[in-house]
Amino acid sequence: MVATPTDTSDKETRPPDRPCFTARGVRRGAIEIAPLAVFVMPFGIAFGGAAAAKGVPASIALLMSGGMFAGASQFAALDLWRAPLPLAMLALTVLAVNARHILLGAALAPWFLRVPLARRLSALLFLSDPNFAQAMAARERGELDAGILFGSGLAMWFVWLTGTAIGAYGGAYLGDLARFGFDAVMVSYFAAVVLGQWKGRSDLLPWIAAAAVALLGSWLLPPGWHIIAGGLAGGVAGAWRHGR
């Protein structure tokens, strides 16, 4: 492992022959993800706008986007954002929404475990669904440079922060954002994400279990816990189905 982000001068022309992490890979990742990253902007604006609609200060919305960089979980956290902050519930909900990252990481393991630790960790910091998909497609083509995940992630992170800033600061001037339907952005997006996950009839039981338990929970449990209950119910039903 001699390749570092700085010693690319004499290796610039030669493609890597084993897992590595180079500045060239970082640059390539950022360029390759650009057409996708453009579509992150409206979601960032929507998140900033939704945060403003909830009365969350722009600085907090930006801190969320910068630190978490995981849109779905940020919307979910926004849904639970009230005084006093339900910290345990927020953490559990964010964990449940982002648990899929564990799967993405597991899929990258055969490749990334052969990259030096510090660079492996820094690339994984920017792991998200779009750049995971891009990196796996690149791996299929023989890509070995883990830098592409870092570069694509960093590019999307900048777009995500910019979008959030536009929505969060612009939102304050727009007044009641329900007029623009911003209070429905989150549920609309989630509904679309769920339907995009449909793989066939084997999903039906877990989905019904999640919906039924969540709906019952929303009437019977303290606020917010229905999300955890529904998520676990769907997960257990899915795992149980899998064993048959």
Interface of this chain with other proteins, residues 1 to 20, rule: CB under 8 A: none
- Show Cβ contacts of residue 114 under 8 Å, excluding neighbours closer than 6 positions: 18, 19
180-201 residues labelled b (16+ CB within 10 A) or e (exposed): eebeebbeebeeeeeeeeeeee
Residues between 87 and 106 with contacts to other proteins, criterion CB under 8 A: 87, 90-91, 93-106
CB-nearer residue toward other proteins: 24 or 120: 120
When asked if residue 210 is in the footprint of other proteins (CB under 8 A), the reply is yes
Question: Which residues, in sequence order, are CB contacts of 244 under 8 Å at separation 6+?
Answer: none
Q: What is the rounded distance in angstroms from the CA atom of residue 72 to the CA atom of residue 189?
A: 9
Does the protein bind other proteins through residue 31 (CB under 8 A)?
no
Whichever of 46 and 138 has its CB closer to other proteins, that residue is 46
Q: What are phi and psi of 161, to 5 degrees?
A: -65, -45
In angstroms, give the least distance from the CB of 29 to other proteins: 16
Q: Could you give the CA distance from residue 53 to residue 74 in angstroms, rounded to a whole number?
A: 14
Residue from the set 1, 31, 34, 215 that interacts with other proteins by CB under 8 A: 215
Among 35, 55, 142, 222, binds other proteins (CB under 8 A): 55
Cβ pair 57, 36 in contact under 8 A: no
Contacting residue, 142, 181, 200, 222, with other proteins by CB under 8 A: 181
**Which residues, numbered 113-172, are part of the site for other proteins (CB under 8 A)?**
113, 120-121, 124-125, 127
* Binding residue count for other proteins, defined by CB under 8 A: 100
d(CA 96, CA 226): 12
CB of 151 to other proteins, least distance (A): 16
Stretch that binds other proteins, among 17-25, 155-163, 164-172, 186-194 (CB under 8 A): 186-194
With contacts defined by CB under 8 A, name the span among 19-27, 154-162, 165-173, 176-184 that binds other proteins.
176-184
> What are 148's two structure tokens?
């592409």
